[in-house]
Amino acid sequence: MDFGSFFNPQSVAVVGSMSPGKLGSILVNLIVEGGYQGRLYAINPKAEGFGAVPGFSSLSDIDPLPELAVIVSPAATVAAVLEECGRAGVHAAVIITSGFSEVGNHQAEKELLETARKYGIRFVGPNCAGLANAPYQFFPTLEMKPPPGKVALVSQSGALGGVVLGWAAQKGLGISKFVSFGNGADLTVMDFLYYLSEDDESEVIALYIESVSDGRALMRALRVCSRKKPVVVIKSGRTAAGTRATASHTGSMAGSDAVYEAAIRASGAVRVRSVEELLDLCEGFISAPPVRGKRLAIVTNSGGPGVLAADRAEELGLLVDEPSASLQQEMRVYLPPNCSLKNPVDLTVEGTEEGFRRSLLSMLKEYDAGLAINVSTSYLDTTGLARGVADAAIQSGKPIFASFVPQQLVAAGSALMKDAGVVNYPSGERAVNVIAAMQHYLSSRSDAENVAADETVKRLSSAAKPLPGGNPMLEPEAMDWLRLNGIPTPPLRLVSNASEVVKACEELGFPVVMKVVSPDILHKSDVGGVIVNIQDAESARQAFERIRQSASGKDFRGAVIYPMVRGAVEVLIGLSCDPQFGPVVAFGLGGIYTEVFRDVVLRIAPICLDEARRMIHEIRSIKLLTGTRGQPPRDVESLARVLARFSELPFEYPQIAEADLNPVFLLPEGLLVGDVRVIRKSV
Amino acid sequence: MDFGSFFNPQSVAVVGSMSPGKLGSILVNLIVEGGYQGRLYAINPKAEGFGAVPGFSSLSDIDPLPELAVIVSPAATVAAVLEECGRAGVHAAVIITSGFSEVGNHQAEKELLETARKYGIRFVGPNCAGLANAPYQFFPTLEMKPPPGKVALVSQSGALGGVVLGWAAQKGLGISKFVSFGNGADLTVMDFLYYLSEDDESEVIALYIESVSDGRALMRALRVCSRKKPVVVIKSGRTAAGTRATASHTGSMAGSDAVYEAAIRASGAVRVRSVEELLDLCEGFISAPPVRGKRLAIVTNSGGPGVLAADRAEELGLLVDEPSASLQQEMRVYLPPNCSLKNPVDLTVEGTEEGFRRSLLSMLKEYDAGLAINVSTSYLDTTGLARGVADAAIQSGKPIFASFVPQQLVAAGSALMKDAGVVNYPSGERAVNVIAAMQHYLSSRSDAENVAADETVKRLSSAAKPLPGGNPMLEPEAMDWLRLNGIPTPPLRLVSNASEVVKACEELGFPVVMKVVSPDILHKSDVGGVIVNIQDAESARQAFERIRQSASGKDFRGAVIYPMVRGAVEVLIGLSCDPQFGPVVAFGLGGIYTEVFRDVVLRIAPICLDEARRMIHEIRSIKLLTGTRGQPPRDVESLARVLARFSELPFEYPQIAEADLNPVFLLPEGLLVGDVRVIRKSV
């Protein structure tokens, strides 16, 4: 669709009261003050205008028809206004008015959508803060007027959008386009992401979301955008209190935060935790060249702040290692002998313009990004030092960031550096946060290319089949089904009476494990239905008797027997179904450690082999798998293959609601599922 | 000692060149411009003055003698200047000049100290940025001049001190006293902490340290201060790069960061990670009443920012739970029906002054602190809303914090709230950081009362005795020593030849564990010197033979035999000796999990029983100890007793350099040491 009518309309009608103090008049005034150059009209029953803006009682009275209607009239009138738009032939509307699904009034919102569909109208809102196109001087919004620039801002919450615009204005960070989509009844975040990904005036997209109904569609949109330009995301509702408030705020269920986290990462977007971080990062992205690696050179005229920045950098996974001997030798020639050359390079309080310029240029031969720190005092010439940093940025072509403080003394230097693409942050730590995030964007964007695409989902779904077995699926049925689908399971015997027990055990070889099979028993250990380490025939007979008793009064289908597996690391592989994102695959430490350490990582399913490898290496206890203290390394490669294959199953078997393989016995060679539980979707 | 001569001198001599551009003239100019009301003199060989400030060639020419000398003359001259101070009878000096131990010139620094001792001079520096007493308008420093206020700032780094002063000036945060102690050759951080703890003009102490030589003295000073007023600490050098830079910056070895973290916490001080956090927190402490509990009420006129703040609060351990039904009912009476009352209480964009006032007052009947969030737009009257918040703070007497944004629109409201003790932060998250830290200060201060005091150390040390056994201590010797000191060890037999093996095993009862005993073998498993689960006499004989072979060619002293312990959780208890803080006690998950999860917590030894209990509950895997998924709870109380007792041993046995009990078998009742390693200090 064409967004021109929203962001660059030739003519606009504001629908609402023009009486003083009413939103209609406030809005018209803001649009006029913003410098809008197109034709502007006011629509209300009294046909009241506002200043030079003419008033009409009906849209159809205006000739030629306005391209966009911005509606602030009371909620009860909005449906009729939209109907009038449709009849008159206006096909774009922004509905700022609130009082729809966000307060439980779903029916009224549905009617708006039906009217719009009937006439081919597209609209933003309701319950939104409007939009803005700063370079075009068009501000149909009640929020702060931002200066023009290169950051596009899309916000589910109007107020949060306003916060960002206010801060951005204060920092002098320019905005290209702004839109708050509110309830998103028609146009929603995905539409704006696709539009902005193609918008040449927007170099970075800042996004605030609370929840979306179609998580996969969000991922597709984020992935498309992130390939073209950075998308920086604040997603709220991370913890219990947050989720509660979000639910009552937007009237839609928020998915688990861990799932959103996985989805945003897999899409190559960058998630931040605060508005401050959002703006810091947008400023970095639009100003500095890309950060292509993890090696950070810090040059400072002050030890303490240099150390704090280096600490933070290493916490975030950047490398602040020492320069090579030859590089140190090179710097030693032109730097005074009391300078430390270890990284941070400490020029001391006597650091000069030449010192900053040359040491940054030397360091950036070996490092991927530079950070220049300067603590100024009133008797030092900061502007010269800033010039040294700016020159180094221009000559090296590499990303350099600065923290020149205190702000009162460095205004001129700061402006000079800004012109050279060097952003000045109020602390070294904040600069380091930006550098780490910019580095992560480039590296995760290339990962995002690897994740299994929608074609895989389509291919798998086209071969969808029903889940075999009963309801619930019994353990032997589930093991058969896993084996059929390429997941390695141990040999097993299902025995239903005592006479078969010894033969089955001998075929498998002692020692064995025996478990109860009954559709009535979900937690087998809790009823004494699992007996391990059975060493001989007599123990086996006794074990079967105890297993039978454990199911007393229940639908007893027999016992399943496996050979004992020893010396394995127990891991967990799981599937669940998120209301917004659909199938999600989990991997983590298994057995009793699953609950104790919660060392589990998530991905949106399906995942490819590369992604499975990355996922496995993300758990904190990875050393247990790769070998430690006399423990042999485990077959992580086979595990990755199984994990990737398992992540495909919910598409081939769409009836799966949840599936847990826990424990999976991971061996030095190969792996075996130790227990399985599959839960069907309730129909 | 009396710090009056430093902070409130009647007369001051600046020693250094008064030529234009030289530090001496810059400093005199700054002192004059700062508004100093006492008598000021310049000292230099040419007897040059500066403006109205008279010049002398020698201190002794001045009558009456100046109370304080501030020295900025070249490094080579400082010893002679100090000698002159001594002879003339000046007993206080600030040595700003650098070029001493920080560049390896330890001898020159030692000479300064000797001269000072000879004449009874006390001095600050060398290599420092001077000091300031803002209410007294005395600024003998090259750093920014701060506005007068209630925050005392002590900084090891002059530059970092300057950063803080610059930011504070910009934020309008007032400073009472400032001192940068540089190399701290004479007066050091402890001296200033004691002084400021008694200084009525200072309500909060902000401290930046890089390293200290006597960690225990720092802890004592922090503890004394923290009982009287909050001490907020930035300690740099946390990670590898940071530590490296710190070492070269201050010329002193930095202790491990985890040890500093434990020491600062045990002292009741509050550690922060950045200058921004430091200032945010100081502002909270000097403005708001104490935060006495974890329950936080959030009242907002905007959903999104409320959610972000609630998320952050729960991440930091604050409780943002729902108000009681009766409280909701109370608010329902006066709030419009579309307001969410769940906490965050969302007044929506139509929130009023009355709405903020009444809902905060209602909520604060049940909650410990309040956070008011408001996102303003140009057509809203923010000042009224701010008045509602300010009134609630005054009427409730409870701590309320605000985040009213954007800053451009809320200046008047912000000032109004400030007068009522409500600090306005640029984001809800930053306000929440402050609330959590203030709450933690009060609760950890009471913990700090519980930690074992210096008297315990004195008592234990007075009974110091040598470590028994050989060097290294053999396992049976170490087990005897532990048992003697009240640490529970398993029964054991030491056998030196095959004929004794079976009898020993039978006395202990099969199954048993057998381990090699040899002073040459540190890592017994690595040589095959540990055999577990020995079931019978024949296996025992074979095991002894294999053990003997594992020590082939080494000094074989026999094998130690223990009964097998089953069903235990393996934990670790350790001791080590930090260069700055002395004995440190560690507790964590044992066995192979020690390295995999690094789930280990530290304390400065010794610790009391309460502290041992807190320490145990700090490990991430605490659920393994308290019972989970069919695992019984373990005897955590006995563990705490053993841990507290073990933490005393390095004082009774000062030869201990390191001691590891790993694993310790923690049982449903009691515990037993599974293995022990004690390393003596090298003499």
Residue B33 has a CB neighbour count (10 Å cut-off) of: 11
Give residue B361's pLDDT band: very low, low, confident or very high (50, 70, 90): very high
Q: Which residues of B touch A323 (CB under 8 A)?
A: none
User: Are the C-beta atoms of residues B423 and B390 closer than 8 Å to each other?
Assistant: no
Region B551-572: mean pLDDT is: 93
- Best residue of B26, B27, B31, B163 to probe chain A, by most A CBs closer than 10 Å: B163
Q: Does residue A253 carry a pLDDT above 60?
A: no
User: Are the C-beta atoms of residues B496 and B547 closer than 8 Å to each other?
Assistant: no
Instruction: Please answer yes or no on whether A250 and B303 come within 8 Å at the CB atom.
Output: yes
Do the domains B491-563 and B1-125 match in fold?
A: no
Residues in contact with A333: Cβ distance below 8 Å, sequence separation at least 6, in sequence order? none
Query: Which range has the worst mean pLDDT, A122-131, A628-637, B237-246, B473-482?
Result: B237-246
> What pLDDT score was predicted for residue B381?
80
> Which numeric CATH code is attached to A491-563?
3.30.1490.20
**Using the 8-state DSSP alphabet, how is residue A146 labeled?**
P
Alpha helices (H) in A129-180, listed in sequence order: 158-171
> What pLDDT score was predicted for residue B349?
78
In one letter, which amino acid is A224? V
Q: Does residue B247 carry a pLDDT above 60?
A: no
Task: Give me the CATH topology for the region B1-125.
Answer: Rossmann fold (3.40.50)
> What pLDDT score was predicted for residue A187?
96
> Which numeric CATH code is attached to A289-445?
3.40.50.261
> What pLDDT score was predicted for residue B70?
98
In one letter, which amino acid is B599? D
> What pLDDT score was predicted for residue B81?
97
Detail the DSSP E strand segments found in B5-101: 11-15, 39-43, 55-56, 68-71, 92-95
Q: Give the Å distances, CA to CA, from A228 to A204, A452, A564.
A: 9, 19, 53
Instruction: Please answer yes or no on whether B165 and A276 come within 8 Å at the CB atom.
Output: no
What's the rounded Cα separation, in Å, for the pair A631 and A610? 25
A contact residues 623-642, partner B, Cβ 8 Å cutoff: 623-624, 628-631
- For B224-234, write each residue's pLDDT tens digit: 999 999 999 99
Phi, psi of A610 (to 5 degrees): -60, -45
Tokens representing B6 are: 């430093």
Mean pLDDT of chain A: 91
Instruction: Please answer yes or no on whether B426 and A595 come within 8 Å at the CB atom.
Output: no
Q: What is the helix (H) or strand (E) element at residue A65, kind and residue range?
A: none
B375 touches chain A (CB under 8 A): yes
End-to-end alpha carbon distance in chain B: 38
Residue B418 CB burial class (10 angstroms; 0-12, 13-18, ≥19): middle
Give residue A559's pLDDT band: very low, low, confident or very high (50, 70, 90): very high
Token pair 């933690």 is found at B440
Q: What is the helix (H) or strand (E) element at residue A289, kind and residue range?
A: none
Q: Does residue B250 carry a pLDDT above 90?
A: no
Residue B260 has a CB neighbour count (10 Å cut-off) of: 26
Residue B122 pairs in a beta bridge with: B92
Region A554-583: mean pLDDT is: 92
Q: Does residue B584 carry a pLDDT above 80?
A: yes
Tokens representing B39 are: 């008598």
User: Are the C-beta atoms of residues B77 and B69 closer than 8 Å to each other?
Assistant: no
Instruction: Please answer yes or no on whether A169 and B406 come within 8 Å at the CB atom.
Output: yes
- For A318-332, write each residue's pLDDT tens digit: 999 999 999 999 999
Q: Give the Å distances, CA to CA, from B300 to A239, A351, B322, B428.
A: 18, 48, 15, 10
User: Are the C-beta atoms of residues A23 and A30 closer than 8 Å to each other?
Assistant: no
> What pLDDT score was predicted for residue A132?
96
Q: Which of B420, B436, B426 is nearest to B403 (CA)?
A: B426
B301 touches chain A (CB under 8 A): yes
Residue A31 has a CB neighbour count (10 Å cut-off) of: 23
DSSP secondary structure of B460-529: HHHT-----S-SSPPHHHHHHHHHHTT------EEE-SHHHHHHHHHHH-SSEEEEEE-TT-S-TGGGT-
What's the rounded Cα separation, in Å, for the pair A401 and A417? 9
Give residue A641's pLDDT band: very low, low, confident or very high (50, 70, 90): very high
Token pair 């030397």 is found at A362
- For B76-100, write each residue's pLDDT tens digit: 999 999 999 999 999 999 999 999 9
- For A448-477, write each residue's pLDDT tens digit: 555 556 788 889 899 899 999 888 899 999
Residue A337 has a CB neighbour count (10 Å cut-off) of: 6
Q: Does residue B653 carry a pLDDT above 90?
A: yes
Q: Which residue of A has its CA nearest to B301?
A: A159
A contact residues 401-420, partner B, Cβ 8 Å cutoff: 405-409
**Using the 8-state DSSP alphabet, how is residue A130 labeled?**
E
DSSP secondary structure of B543-561: HHHHHHHHTTTS---EEEE
What's the rounded Cα separation, in Å, for the pair B429 and B311? 9
- For A593-634, write each residue's pLDDT tens digit: 777 788 889 999 999 999 999 999 999 889 889 987 667 899
What's the rounded Cα separation, in Å, for the pair A376 and A399? 23
Tokens representing A68 are: 């966009």
Residue B39 pairs in a beta bridge with: B11
Q: Which residue of B has its CA nearest to A103?
A: B338
Residues in contact with B299: Cβ distance below 8 Å, sequence separation at least 6, in sequence order? B344, B345, B347, B356, B359, B360, B363, B370, B371, B372, B373
Share in percent of chain B as helix, strand, coil (round to 5): 40, 20, 35
Q: Does residue B195 carry a pLDDT above 50?
A: yes
What's the rounded Cα separation, in Å, for the pair B180 and B452? 31
- For B134-153, write each residue's pLDDT tens digit: 999 999 998 888 889 999 99
- For A15-48, write each residue's pLDDT tens digit: 999 999 899 999 999 999 999 999 999 999 999 9
Residue A51 has a CB neighbour count (10 Å cut-off) of: 12
**ipTM rounded to 2 decimals:** 0.79
Region A274-301: mean pLDDT is: 95
> What pLDDT score was predicted for residue A102?
83
End-to-end alpha carbon distance in chain A: 37
Domain boundaries, chain B: 1-125, 289-445, 491-563
Mean pLDDT of chain B: 91
> What pLDDT score was predicted for residue A27?
95
A535 touches chain B (CB under 8 A): no
Region B234-257: mean pLDDT is: 54
In one letter, which amino acid is B274? S
Q: Work out whether strand B582-589 and strand B600-604 pair parallel, antiparallel, or are unpaired.
A: antiparallel
Q: Does residue B50 carry a pLDDT above 90?
A: yes
- Best residue of B246, B274, B596 to probe chain A, by most A CBs closer than 10 Å: B596
What's the rounded Cα separation, in Å, for the pair B306 and B345? 8
User: Are the C-beta atoms of residues A368 and A293 closer than 8 Å to each other?
Assistant: yes
Give residue A443's pLDDT band: very low, low, confident or very high (50, 70, 90): confident
Phi, psi of B297 (to 5 degrees): -100, 125
* Torsion angle (degrees, nearest 10) of CA A241, A242, A245, A247: -110
What's the rounded Cα separation, in Å, for the pair B333 and B525? 72
> What pLDDT score was predicted for residue A394?
97
- For A168-223, write each residue's pLDDT tens digit: 888 888 999 999 999 999 999 999 999 999 999 999 999 999 888 899 999 999 99
What's the rounded Cα separation, in Å, for the pair B196 and A201? 56
B242 touches chain A (CB under 8 A): yes
Residue A32 CB burial class (10 angstroms; 0-12, 13-18, ≥19): middle
What's the rounded Cα separation, in Å, for the pair A70 and A94? 5
The string over B53-70, giving b where at least 16 C-beta atoms fall within 10 Å of a residue's C-beta and e elsewhere, is: bebbeebeebeebbbbbb
DSSP secondary structure of A615-660: HHTTSTTHHHHH--TTPPPP-HHHHHHHHHHHTTHHHHSTTEEEEE
User: Are the C-beta atoms of residues B401 and B369 closer than 8 Å to each other?
Assistant: yes
- For A653-670, write each residue's pLDDT tens digit: 999 999 999 999 999 999
Tokens representing A420 are: 């050279």
Query: Which range has the worst mean pLDDT, A290-304, A336-350, A560-574, B527-541?
Result: A336-350
Q: Which of A466, A494, A490, A435 is nearest to A665 (CA)?
A: A490
Give residue A310's pLDDT band: very low, low, confident or very high (50, 70, 90): very high
Q: Does residue A103 carry a pLDDT above 90?
A: no
Q: Does residue A247 carry a pLDDT above 50?
A: no
Instruction: Please answer yes or no on whether A321 and B407 come within 8 Å at the CB atom.
Output: no
Predicted TM-score (pTM) of the model is 0.86
- For B315-331, write each residue's pLDDT tens digit: 999 999 999 999 999 99
User: Are the C-beta atoms of residues A564 and A511 closer than 8 Å to each other?
Assistant: yes
Give residue B597's pLDDT band: very low, low, confident or very high (50, 70, 90): confident
Token pair 């009396």 is found at B2
Instruction: Please answer yes or no on whether A340 and B307 come within 8 Å at the CB atom.
Output: no
Q: Does residue A108 carry a pLDDT above 50?
A: yes
Instruction: Please answer yes or no on whether B338 and A103 come within 8 Å at the CB atom.
Output: yes
What's the rounded Cα separation, in Å, for the pair A189 and A180? 9
Q: For A585, what's the count of Cα atoms within 13 Å in the CB-facing half-sphere?
A: 25
Q: For B40, what's the count of Cα atoms within 13 Å in the CB-facing half-sphere?
A: 25
What distance in Å separates residue B209's CA from the closest CA in chain A? 9
User: Are the C-beta atoms of residues A571 and A672 closer than 8 Å to each other?
Assistant: no
